Amino acid sequence: MNLKNIIDNREAQIGVIGLGYVGLPLAIEFVHAGFTVTGIDIDELRVKTLNEGNNYIQDVSDKHLRDAVENNKFSASTEFSVIKNLDCVIICVPTPLNKQKNPDVSFINSAIKEIKKYIHPNMLVVLESTTYPGTTRELVAPELESTDLKIGQDFYLCFSPERIDPGNTVYNTANTPKVLGGITPNCGKIGECLYETIVSKVVLVSSPETAEMVKLLENTFRAINIGLANEVAIMCEKLGIDVWEVIDAAATKPFGYMKFTPGPGLGGHCIPIDPHYLSWKLKTLDYNARFIQLAGEINTSMPFHVVDLVRAGLNRNQKSISGCKIIVIGVAYKKNVNDVRESPALDVMRLLVNDGAELSFHDPFVPNIKLNGSQLDGLSHLTEPILNEADAVVIMTDHDQIDFDFIEQHGNLIIDTRNSIKKSSASVIKLGVGN
Ligand SMILES: NC(=O)c1ccc[n+]([C@@H]2O[C@H](COP(=O)([O-])OP(=O)(O)OC[C@H]3O[C@@H](n4cnc5c(N)ncnc54)[C@H](O)[C@@H]3O)[C@@H](O)[C@H]2O)c1
């Protein structure tokens, strides 16, 4: 039977390589569509945890995972040889930056080397990891074709960017359209046929390069617009205007404007990183991606600006950061998630500690963090005495679970980077609000 038929009747064996924020929800989505799914990860602890039916990704329901394992619809392995028996393999490994802020595609390379050992005719390979335009054709295709199998003839190769938004309760994998581009038209058709089983709409584009660029446009658009909102916040502080009021009023325009809000800086595995993949690629073509560079400068300066606001507030109370008790509220990079990767809260905390602050933090989603090489345990909850004793409270993440009225009532000095405190008060300094 050909690959399309076994996908259509759910007999195709699906494999997902990399079982993190992207891979695990995707694997469970394929189980819901009726497939049997094998997850492959190099992290032995993750594999063991999953095979015991235990979940570690917030966007996956514990029950769904347990049911999938108990019904033998999902299993995990560290053994790449399972690929021999798989029909469709989807790669969801990390694509970080190296120390020089250049793309680190080593995780993709090592996954491809393993696939190459076990690739067989009538198989579909899809790369989902965010990467620069050209990766699928220039990096992945030659390696897999060195096996004598021909793309579009013996096996199929596509790129399909992941658009998952962790913590988003409205949009998930199933109701977010999926962009996909194949190396050949029939690669695209087979890829479309697979993803149609789990998403409401597949947007088939003409090439993997187009699909790779779509993802980078989406995330560069966000990085640049957040950069603009951050710069407007600083402008408003200088002009004595409230940026939050400006943005809310501008957002009443029903066309030609999209609301972005300022904040303490960019975080997560995508927005601070992905635009660098694009600017790196353009540098190899002697082109300087100026918007990306400028947005990067503004966004990475925000943690320093937040510390300046803390310093100004303490100064007003005849205090300095050195020796002061400061509580950071929220260390996850955005609301209602437990992910601290690239979180600007960590930058702010490092700067405060370096300036001699006596630092603590509270985050209902994050029990502890690593700061300057040591573990720092969070405050499990905020009490009146804890807030009273602090010289400053810095709101970094606006989780829904946090009682900001309580913080406003009991904090001596509050630096609010998220517009979480609605009452205006002399003890509150808000990012983007001039005195
Ligand atoms: N997290 C997001 O919100 C998000 C959204 C869209 C796209 N993406 C992109 O998806 C990709 C994956 O991101 P993530 O957030 O899921 O990462 P993650 O760190 O949460 O998970 C990656 C997993 O891959 C495993 N892994 C690493 N190398 C491997 C290898 N060679 N073989 C098998 N497993 C390996 C790791 O152990 C880990 O479990 C990245 O390219 C990212 O840019 C992420």
User: Residues 207-253: pLDDT tens digits?
Assistant: 999 999 999 999 999 999 999 999 999 999 999 999 999 999 999 99
Residue 159's pLDDT band (boundaries 50, 70, 90)?
very high
Average confidence (pLDDT) over 14-24? 96
pLDDT class for 1, splitting at 50, 70, 90? Answer: low
| Residue 270 near ligand 1, beta carbon < 6 Å | yes
pLDDT at 435: 72
Q: Tell me if 271 CB under 6 Å of ligand 1.
A: no
**Residue 111 alpha carbon, nearest atom of ligand 1:** 31
Does the structure show a pLDDT above 80 at 255?
Answer: yes
Q: Is the pLDDT of residue 141 over 70?
A: yes
Probe ligand 1: pick from 86, 92, 129, max atoms within 8 Å of CB? 92
Length of the chain equals: 435
- The beta-carbon contacts of 21-24 under 8 Å, at least 24 apart in sequence, are 21/57, 21/59, 21/164, 21/166, 21/269, 21/339, 22/92, 22/128, 22/129, 22/162, 22/164, 23/90, 23/92, 23/128, 24/50, 24/55, 24/56, 24/57, 24/60, 24/65
Q: Which of 158, 187, 193, 270 is catalytic?
A: 270
Helix (H), strand (E) at residue 8? helix 3-8
What pLDDT sits at residue 348? 98
Across the range 116-128, mean pLDDT stands at: 97
Q: Are strands 123-127 and 374-377 parallel, antiparallel or unpaired?
A: unpaired
Burial class (CB in 10 A: 0-12, 13-18, 19+), 252: exposed
Cα 122 to Cα 6: distance, rounded to the nearest angstrom: 11
pLDDT of residue 402: 97
270 is catalytic: yes
Report CA(43)–ligand 1 centroid distance (Å).
12
**Minimal-distance CA residue to ligand 1 atom 37:** 43
- What is the distance in A from the centroid of ligand 1 to the CA of 23? 7
Question: What's the rounded Cα separation, in Å, for the pair 344 and 41?
Answer: 28
Q: How far is the CA of 252 from the centre of ligand 1 (A)?
A: 37
Measure the CA–CA gap between 140 and 95, rounded to whole angstroms. Answer: 14
Q: Whose CA is nearest to atom 27 of ligand 1?
A: 93
For ligand 1, whether the C-beta of 43 sits within 6 Å is: yes
Indicate if the pLDDT at residue 79 is higher than 70: yes
Measured by CA distance, the residue closest to atom 5 of ligand 1 is 164
Residue minimizing CA distance to atom 25 of ligand 1:
18
Domains, the chain: 3-206 (3.40.50.720), 253-430 (3.40.50.720)
- Band (161; pLDDT cuts 50, 70, 90): very high
Q: How far is the CA of 61 from the centre of ligand 1 (A)?
A: 19
The residues facing 181 across adjacent strands are 159, 205
Confidence tier at 414 by pLDDT (50, 70, 90): very high
Residue 129 beta carbon below 6 angstroms from any ligand 1 atom: yes
Residue 351 Cβ contacting ligand 1 at under 6 Å: no
pLDDT tier at 166, thresholds 50, 70, 90: confident
Cα(93) to centroid of ligand 1, in Å?
4
